[in-house]
Amino acid sequence: MDKKYGLTKAGFVKKDFLTCYSEISESFKNKINQNIDLSPTSVFGNIIGIYAERESLLWDGLQELSTTMNPNNATGIPLQNAISINGISKQEATASKVILTFYGKTGIKIPSGTGVAIPETSYQFNTKIDAVVAQNGIVEIEAECSILGEVKALAGTINKILNPIYNIESCTNKKDAVVGQFEETEEDLKIRRLQLLQRAGSATEKGIRAAIQKIEGVKTSILLNAEIANYIPSGSIHLYVEGGEPLAIANAINSSRGGGCLLYLDESSIKNTIKDSQGIDRIISFSRPKEKIIYLSIALKTNSDFPSNGYEQVKNAIIDYANKNLTIGKSLINSSLYVPINSVSGIIGIQIYQDLLPNPSNTLNISVEPIEYAKLDTSRINFIDWKGKF
């Protein structure tokens, strides 16, 4: 192949239409006659034009093919094929999940697939298993949204039974739904790949955490060792992981930690037995971060632009912010809530109080330890009258 074109030290260099046309024209002159008529209106000129166009299209295809294994340039299926070399796959869309509480007569069966909706929306949650109302007239069932993606459902909003059941009086969700996720975008996938490449096959802190971050549903993780926490023996590590399926996390830990790297465990640890490369059973353990339940009281000064459902919008904005930002060790800073709250129109004044108990009156921020995460829920956000002068 010509050294000027194709795969070169500078990368792939393609021939454009004019280059192809010129080269084919020279070949015709050399093979037939130097004085042959190759003008655009001549027979041979048209033949050369057809061949040159076809050849330039082939060069275009070769150029695209040369970039298919470059994750920075590839898109679609070629991108997924390229990143599969690193053991990474695109995260699919998932559905929001919630626990529905049904109230009715003891012994009444609620079949799998029973649909309950958020009134005046297209969002529907379907129960996943058959269940029977208990003696106290209540049964709680896990349900999943029929639409994939980030469908938010605040506490108490899923209450319209779509296929009524005799002797079932009502249904609601006591807590906010666990929000699903949209399909991962290609840009986010490329960024995640670069972050995960830090692993490089070693049992470094970044490497182990990078392996864990591959797991679908994992929000974040933290690794503690004897230098950070004095309760951990030398040579051991204590892992805290927020989100993700336990067995998948255990496999990631097992494949990424080095020999002699021991895992600290206590009574709260999640333990799985995994076979190592020699077929020997190993107990792989990690912990979940501890929830720090936060209560909020908020006073708002509003004007005529404040919408009729403004308070619900404010709750929604706060929870959306919390889901994206309050990971392990992140304290809830009152001032950080001003931006999501002000995303609702008509707000001209904000007072925020937080505490670990209901009806907070403390304006100070609550400290969150490195192994904790602040947990918010719309059921723990209430609105109060403005305090003092405005």
The DSSP element (H or E) to which 372 belongs, if any, is strand 372-375
- Tokens 């012994």 appear where? 107
Sign of CA dihedral 244, 248, 251, 252: negative
Q: What is the DSSP letter of 135?
A: T
Q: Are strands 262-263 and 290-293 parallel, antiparallel or unpaired?
A: unpaired
Using CA atoms, how far apart are residues 166 and 206, in angstroms rounded to an integer?
56
- Could you list the mean pLDDT of each consecutive 10-residue stretch along the chain, which spans 390 residues? 74 89 91 88 89 92 78 78 75 92 94 94 94 92 94 93 93 92 86 65 68 86 84 87 92 80 87 83 91 94 94 94 86 89 93 93 84 90 85
Location of structure tokens 């074109």: 5
For residue 85, give both structure tokens: 């070399």
Question: Crossing angle of helices 186-196/76-83, nearest 10°?
Answer: 10
Structure tokens at 169: 């009086």
d(CA 378, CA 307): 18
SS3 of residue 220 by DSSP: strand
Q: In the chain, which residue ranges form alpha helices assigned H by DSSP?
A: 17-31, 43-67, 76-83, 186-196, 205-213, 246-256, 310-325, 338-342
- Enter the tokens of residue 204: 């470094």
pTM: 0.51
- Maximum Cα–Cα distance for the chain, whole Å? 102
Say how many C-beta atoms besides its own lie within 10 A of residue 300's C-beta.
21
* Residue among 237, 359, 351, 245 at smallest CA distance from 301: 351
Which SS3 state, helix, strand or coil, does residue 77 take?
A: helix
Q: What is the pLDDT of residue 204?
A: 65
- For residue 263, report the phi and psi dihedrals to the nearest 5 degrees: -105, 125
